[in-house]
Amino acid sequence: MSSCGRSNEKSGAMKNTIKVERARHDMTQQALADLVGVSRQTINYIETQRYMPSAALVLKLSEIFGMSVNELFVLEEEDWAPTGAPKY
């Protein structure tokens, strides 16, 4: 485990395009972290799918990049509830 209590394995966090958008905006992880009020490490964990951000943080990221949440985060089949559960 890392020093902040998170495993190095993927924790079920969704794929995202944060790193791509950050590069398109010529923005460092630290600059983005400062804008949304989190640590640089949190941005790194989001980009590498090791951390699922809160709804508030997702909305902030969406606003900063001028994109919808669905454009920044990709909901894949395995992100749905276990087999047999209804999908709404």
Helix (H) or strand (E) holding 74: strand 73-74
Q: How far apart are CA 13 and CA 77, in angstroms?
A: 13
Low-confidence ranges of the chain (pLDDT < 50): 1-10
**What are the tens digits of pLDDT across the range 15-25?**
999 999 999 99
Residue 51 contacts residue 9 (beta carbons within 8 Å): no
User: The pTM is what?
Assistant: 0.76
C-beta neighbour count of 22 within 10 angstroms: 19
Domains and CATH numbers, the chain: 1-67 (1.10.260.40)
Nearest Cα to Cα of residue 13 among 76, 62, 65: 76
